């Protein structure tokens, strides 16, 4: 992925009940857990990826972090070279201990917004997040789609009205053309399921090729928006 031109890497933390995920990433969680993957393996992966010089975040559901311990997780994530943590099933109001631990270690907490989020919710996330705001393009689980959610551009505009943080749009992007569309109105494009499928079906070389396609789409000089 680094060789293909990715700007940052998100490492998923295997969990038995990944409620935001579609079938592709659900299966990946299951395979990882059945293979014995645990928190120490996630941190080892963070260390290996961050050693490339690429900003590395973890995306994880809250139960494993709660069990591991807020401060311990922040400390170990920082020691491994991680720069941030995306927590899809956690809201800022329920995360005071995590926010303190993250601040102490310089870890960026990243909460999500969705098309259903109120302006008040978006404002809270905008005040609390560090690094960027993760905007879920559609209401639903993760997974590659033939079209990017039509409400994604509107959501990005609503987020920008509440915060100066960059906005990353995820859920559904799987091709360079879709990446170019999203890059026309967002600051970053998040891709997950399509890369998992590429790895499953074609191995590392397929991942490299798809990453290169996505990176080229994001960096097109003239990027169309969904409204054009």
pLDDT at position 149 is: 53
Report residue 145's pLDDT band, with 50, 70 and 90 as the boundaries. Answer: very low
- Name the CATH topology of 9-218: TIM Barrel (3.20.20)
pLDDT tens column, 148-199: 556 889 999 999 999 999 999 988 889 999 999 999 999 999 999 999 999 9
CA-based nearest residue to 73, from 109, 119, 48: 109
Residues 202-207, mean pLDDT to the nearest whole number: 97
Write down the pTM of the prediction: 0.88
pLDDT at 226 over 50: no
Helix 193-218 to helix 176-183 angle (10° resolution) is 60
CA-based nearest residue to 110, from 151, 150, 59: 59
Cα separation of 102 and 49, whole Å? 20
pLDDT at position 172 is: 81
Cα separation of 23 and 16, whole Å? 13
Q: What percent of the chain has pLDDT over 70?
A: 91
pLDDT at position 52 is: 97
pLDDT at 98 over 90: yes
- Domain map (residue ranges) of the chain: 9-218
pLDDT at position 22 is: 83
pLDDT tens column, 102-123: 999 999 999 999 999 999 999 9
pLDDT tens column, 55-67: 999 999 999 999 9
Strands 188-189 and 9-12: unpaired
């Amino acid at each position: 992925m680094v060789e293909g031109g990715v700007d940052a890497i998100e490492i998923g933390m295997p969990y038995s009940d990944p409620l935001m995920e579609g079938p592709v990433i659900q299966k990946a969680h299951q395979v990882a857990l059945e293979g014995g993957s645990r928190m120490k393996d996630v941190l080892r992966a963070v260390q290996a990826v961050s050693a490339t010089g690429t900003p590395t975040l973890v995306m994880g559901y809250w139960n494993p972090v709660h069990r591991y311990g807020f401060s311990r997780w922040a400390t170990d994530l920082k020691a491994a070279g991680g720069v941030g943590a995306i927590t899809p099933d956690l809201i800022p109001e329920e995360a005071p201990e995590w926010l303190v631990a993250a601040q102490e270690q310089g870890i960026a907490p990243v909460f999500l917004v969705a098309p259903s989020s109120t302006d008040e919710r978006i404002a809270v996330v905008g005040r609390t997040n560090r690094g960027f705001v993760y905007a879920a393009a559609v209401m639903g689980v993760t997974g590659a789609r033939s079209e990017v959610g039509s409400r994604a551009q509107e959501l990005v505009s609503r987020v920008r009205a509440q915060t100066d943080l960059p906005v990353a749009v995820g859920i559904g992007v799987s091709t360079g053309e879709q990446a170019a569309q999203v890059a026309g109105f967002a600051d970053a494009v998040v891709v997950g399921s399509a890369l998992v499928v590429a790895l499953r079906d074609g191995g590392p070389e397929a991942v490299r090729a798809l990453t290169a396609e996505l990176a080229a789409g994001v960096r097109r000089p003239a990027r169309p928006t969904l409204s054009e």
